[in-house]
Structure 1
Amino acid sequence: EDRASFDRASRSGRTGAPDLSGVAPGSARGMSAVAAAHRALGKPYVWGANGPSGFDCSGLMQWAYAQAGVSLPRTSQAQRYAGRMVPLSQAQPGDLVAYRADASHIGMYVGNGQVIHAPYPGAAIRYDPVGMMPVSSVTRV
């Protein structure tokens, strides 16, 4: 189900960095987490893994923020409450974007309408449009 949802909603499958010129910077720790997540680009999705050779969605968020000196909970459901919720229209680089009402998927906003995430088994960490699936919350860590 997840794979079909991603395939329908996202056609970019970008592995190169999106154009972030003119993007307002996030907090120092958010920008540090974005930089760490970018270093994981192209690594495989591995269910239950939190790096550094493979990641699932919440494992990538946990690992990237750990590189920035911030401890996050392990699951996407818990990560959505690991900070202050903000409207999607105010998202900044480093904010966590939870998908679906049950927060069964999570990514990191990088700016310019893009997130970095570990999509599903068989796919690599990549950039996709923030609206690839229904957004349920945005959390500023």
Structure 2
Amino acid sequence: AKPASGRAGAAFAAAQTKLGSPYVYGATGPSSFDCSGLTSWAYAQAGVGIPRTSQAQANAGTRIYSQSDLQIGDLVIFYGDQHHVGLYAGNGQVLHAPRTGTVVRYESIGNMPFQFGVRV
């Protein structure tokens, strides 16, 4: 992956500190998160305000349709209804809060239907 921009890199670094935190629907941190709660919290640590929901985050920047153009820290939107979001982690991996009963973790980008990335 290409190196992260300053704020995307800072957001990604913040999210990495939350690996293992529990997924809780509607949670926005700092001890538990849902998918868009994690991404909005991470960007807030980088001093960047982005919307709260994955659907709104899908419109929060420049869309990137080729996975090969993704940079670390870019938002990655999944599913046709855009209901899931994570942070690109490089090497085909996403850092995200998957679903109830899981924790913040890395996962292959191919495990979910990729729609596009968003560079904030």
TM-score (norm 1): 0.82
Q: Displacement of 1:130 after TM fit? A: 1.1
TM-score (norm 2): 0.96
Runs of 4 or more above 4 Å deviation: none
- In structure 2, C-alpha distance between the alignment counterparts of 1:131 and 1:24, rounded to whole Å: 19
Is structure 2 residue 92 aligned with structure 1 residue 113?
yes
Aligned residue for 1:4?
none
- Amino acid in the other structure paired with 1:58: S
- In structure 2, C-alpha distance between the alignment counterparts of 1:114 and 1:48, rounded to whole Å: 24
User: How do 1:83-122 and structure 2 match up within 5 A?
Assistant: 83-86=61-64, 87-122=66-101
- 2:63 is paired with a residue whose SS is strand
Contiguous gaps of at least 5 residues in structure 1: 1-22
Contiguous gaps of at least 5 residues in structure 2: none
- In structure 1, C-alpha distance between the alignment counterparts of 2:74 and 2:110, rounded to whole Å: 14
Aligned residue for 1:67?
45
- In structure 1, C-alpha distance between the alignment counterparts of 2:5 and 2:90, rounded to whole Å: 13
- In structure 1, C-alpha distance between the alignment counterparts of 2:87 and 2:111, rounded to whole Å: 13
Is structure 2 residue 81 aligned with structure 1 residue 139?
no
- Amino acid in the other structure paired with 1:30: A
Q: Which has the larger radius of gyration?
A: 1
Aligned residues: 119
- In structure 1, C-alpha distance between the alignment counterparts of 2:67 and 2:74, rounded to whole Å: 9
Q: Displacement of 1:24 after TM fit? A: 2.6
CA RMSD of aligned residues (A): 0.8
Q: Give the fraction of aligned pairs with identical amino acids, expressed as a percent.
A: 55
- Amino acid in the other structure paired with 2:52: R
